[in-house]
Amino acid sequence: MSDLSAPDDAGTGPVRPRVAVLFGGRSSEHAISCVTAGSVLASIDPQKYDVVPIGIAKDGRWVLEDGDTSRLAIEDPDKLPEVDGTLPVLSIAQDGLAGSLVVHPQGDVPATLGRVDVVFPVLHGPFGEDGTIQGLLEIADVRYVGAGVLASAVGMDKHYMKVVFESAGLPVLPYAVITDREWRSDPDACRAEVDALGYPVFVKPCRGGSSIGISKVRSRDELDAAVEEARRWDPKVVVEAAAGEGAREIECGVLESLGGELPEASVVAEIVVQGDHDFYDFAAKYLPEESTRLDVPADLDPTVADEVRALSVAAFEALSCEGLARVDFFLLADGRLAVNEINTMPGFTPTSMFPRMWAASGLAYPDLVDRLLRLALQRPTGLR
């Protein structure tokens, strides 16, 4: 981790790029972001990079974390990891020291730690993955890993993500959107729109992730409760038609090329949900139990796998993504593919599919992280 008393390596050889790993945040995915950060922090080569761990507490305060990766793991489902909001508050300067980290110890004089070369924002959900942090970093003239403001915002909002995909000619399943105003002013019209999709449906917070707040609804009698549960996390709700019996959940990773060529797609993988889980919910994703099988690579006809890879790159390009993305699909019983969603900052937890797909493609976890940092360091700031 960074030596805070000596922010530069002057006199000791080449200066290592300073990487700020930004995690936590105000969204419901705070804990998952902490877990992701633990994996990323443990994998960054300290001989190549000077690493500063920055946590965003649940109340929005930025703090200088200690980088203890053992504290950032999920060991007990009833005690999820979180950022310690009592640590010294930190900010990124936006004046003459633009891009510099400034620590504000309680009752003491602020201390400048030096300029950040690149930020790795391993934030999931609203106020981190949705373009807000990306906009702040753009204003501060700081390079960062991953998609820019527009791609992050569109990728986070399942409604507009589907609109862009449809416009680009990509296949998506039928869906309905319920806004806060519509649900309060005319809930019967909202129910009728969902009825037209046919049951079962999946009701989701429109700008959520990690399967938090999602319900499988089998009849109209269950709809209102599911909408209210989704509204706990986001006043805007998306309702999606189920993929149907026999559908398979397929995923593919996309990485930007270091040489400026077309993005690359990983091997294709499959999620097989087992046991008592009706779908790929939070527990099936993150808790250590035998409820989910991840097949990497998936047992697919090579022609289908090639189509998934091509559609993944097309989805990446449709949103003007940068750096990385994971694209999720349904392979329907009749052989058609439908894009479910794109994740512009996929998880890097030990059980996450994105790094597993790239490992199976020949890019080991530390090399994957290094490539993302190199991509971010080589791209210009500002409009591009």
Per-residue confidence band for 11, with pLDDT thresholds at 50, 70 and 90? very low
In this predicted model, what pLDDT tens digit does every residue of 278-313 receive, in sequence order?
555 445 544 445 567 889 999 999 999 999 999 999
Residues sharing a CB contact under 8 Å with residue 65, sequence separation 6 or more, in sequence order: 23, 53, 54, 55, 83, 84, 87
- Supply the DSSP string of 298-364, one letter for each residue: ----HHHHHHHHHHHHHHHHHTT--SEEEEEEEE-TTS-EEEEEEESS---STT-HHHHHHHHTT--
Please spell the DSSP secondary structure of 75-115, one letter per residue. -BTTB-----TTSPEEEE--STTTTEEEEE-TTS--EEEEE
Cα–Cα distance measured from residue 29 to residue 35, given in angstroms and rounded to the nearest whole number: 10
Q: Are the beta carbons of 326 and 353 closer than 8 angstroms?
A: yes
- One CATH from 3.40.50.20, 3.40.225.10, 3.40.190.10, 3.40.50.720 for 18-144: 3.40.50.20
Q: How far is CA 258 from CA 1, 122, 264, 334, 379, in A?
A: 26, 20, 10, 37, 10
Q: At what angle do helices 187-195 and 223-231 cross, to 10 degrees?
A: 110
Mean pLDDT of 79-92: 85
Phi, psi of 211 (to 5 degrees): 65, 20
Backbone angles phi, psi at 206, to 5 degrees: -65, -30
Every domain of the chain and the residues it spans: 18-144, 155-172+245-378, 175-241
Lookup: tokens for 168:
């680009």
Q: Is the peptide bond before 200 cis (omega within 30 degrees of 0)?
A: yes
Q: 175-241 has which CATH code?
A: 3.30.1490.20
In this prediction, residue 10 has a pLDDT band, given cuts at 50, 70 and 90, of very low
Kind plus residue range of the DSSP H or E element containing 369: helix 365-378
**What average pLDDT is seen over the chain?**
87
Rounded mean pLDDT, 261-286: 73
* Torsion 360-365-367-371 (CA) sign: positive
How far CA 77 is from CA of 32, 73, 81, 191, in Å, comes to: 12, 10, 10, 35
pLDDT at position 8, please? 46
Residues 28-39 pLDDT 10s: 889 889 999 999
Helix (H, G, I), strand (E, B) or coil at 289: coil
Instruction: Give the predicted TM-score (pTM) of the model.
Output: 0.87
Please name the CATH architecture into which domain 155-172+245-378 falls.
2-Layer Sandwich (3.30)
List Cα–Cα distances, 137 to 51, 258, 312, in angstroms: 17, 22, 27
Predicted confidence (pLDDT) per residue in 91-147, tens digit:
776 654 456 777 766 655 455 656 889 999 999 888 889 999 999 999 888 999 999
pLDDT at residue 299, as a whole number? 96
CA torsion sign for 362, 368, 370, 373 is positive
Q: Averaged over 224-228, what is the pLDDT?
A: 97
Measured from the Cβ of residue 344, the count of other Cβ atoms closer than 10 Å reads 26
In this structure, what token pair is assigned to residue 264? 């690359």
